[in-house]
Amino acid sequence: MRDSSREVSIIDLEIKVGCVPLIFVFILASMMPMQPMSIKKRRFYFYTLLVVFFLIIPIIILYTSGYRVKGFHLVETGGIYIYSPEANSIIYLDNNEEHETSVFQKDYFVQNLTPGTYSVLIAKDGFWPWIKEVSVEERVVSEAIAFLIPKDP
């Protein structure tokens, strides 16, 4: 003969854990019969999602190809990949401080730059500053790898 005071049902266990509402939702959803959608509703969802798809896909393709909207025009952009061999060096782009490197991240990627020539300066205390003019072209990532020389050898 079993002692009924020691029996614990799954529902009692779930109540103690606090997951009852979620379990009941799954149980009720599995027990309720689903009604098929009407043909009008199916067609509405299909054509709406088809229009959304064909509106979104060109935007995604243009964005991933490097195009950006400036005003009412599409502009092709490029980028610069900058690497500094020393941690805690400061990266400037056209005399504007952009980034300070760390021990684990000694590189920096600048994107969405319009085509042209940019001045890259990397400076760190105890090292001579490194400067380079980098040209940026449409849909191309230019590379700038710094070579920092210590002031006191």
Orientation of helix 10-17 relative to helix 20-31, angle to 10°: 130
pLDDT at residue 146, as a whole number? 95
User: How many angstroms separate the CA atoms of 150 and 87, rounded?
Assistant: 13
pLDDT tens, position by position, 25-70: 667 667 767 788 899 999 999 999 999 999 999 999 999 988 999 8
- What angle is formed at CA 139 by the lines to CA 118 and CA 133, rounded to 5 degrees? 15
Q: How many CA atoms lie within 13 A of 27 on its CB side?
A: 7
pLDDT tens, position by position, 72-127: 999 999 999 999 999 999 999 999 999 999 999 999 999 999 999 999 999 999 99
Closest by CA to 106, choosing from 118, 122, 95, 119, is 122
The residue with greater pLDDT, 93 or 20, is 93
Largest CA distance in the chain: 90
Q: Residue 90: beta bridge partners?
A: 100, 123
